[in-house]
Amino acid sequence: MANTQAMTTSFMGELMTATHNFGTAPVRATGATDAFKAALYLTSATMNASSTAYTVTGEVSGTGYSAGGVAVTFGTPPTATNSSVTAGVAFVTPSASITYTTVTLATAFDAVLIYNSTQSNKAVSVHTFGSQTITAGTFTLTMPSNTTSTALIRLATT
């Protein structure tokens, strides 16, 4: 037997469920899953890794679109999978497509911000795609498969 330096994969999965707290934790009324939302951003916006929370600045606007976007469903809890004694992946993916139904978004947009609406709208991730406009139509974002390599949100050690 030998010991191997590693970040435990279980820890990464538990980060996704707020099990560990090295600082000051937000006060939670229950242990229930937080609510998440998805907001769309114009091509002129600057959403990126430095984004800390949802903002109306640069968000799309138009008929049928409500500021803040739509709810995101995480029906499957995060999964943590080891691939070796040093490596593993914790991952999670929304369990349903994100859909904006019957909207008119005349100004081009190319990004979606997923954020935690339970915890002060704190940002989770930014995903970009080719520039789009929508006219009296529906915009749908379909999620990748929820696997170790394709899940939408991944924490990984190698």
137 binds other proteins (CB under 8 A): yes
150 binds other proteins (CB under 8 A): yes
Which CB atom, from 4 or from 30, has the smaller least distance to other proteins?
4
Burial of 74 (0-12, 13-18, 19+ CB in 10 A): buried
* Dihedral (Cα; 121, 125, 130, 136), 10-degree rounding: -30
Among 1, 2, 3, 5, binds other proteins (CB under 8 A): 5
Q: 111 in helix, strand or coil?
A: strand
Q: Please provide the size of the chain in residues.
A: 158
- What is the CB-side half-sphere exposure of residue 90 using CA atoms within 13 A? 14
Among 38, 39, 111, 152, binds other proteins (CB under 8 A): 152
Sketch the per residue contact string, 41 through 80, with other proteins: x for CB under 8 A, - otherwise. ----------------------------------------
Q: Select from 21-29, 65-73, 76-84, 123-131 the region that touches other proteins (CB under 8 A).
A: 123-131
Say if residues 135 and 97 touch (Cβ distance below 8 Å).
Answer: no
Residues that bind other proteins (CB under 8 A): 5-7, 12, 91, 102, 104, 125-130, 132-144, 150-158
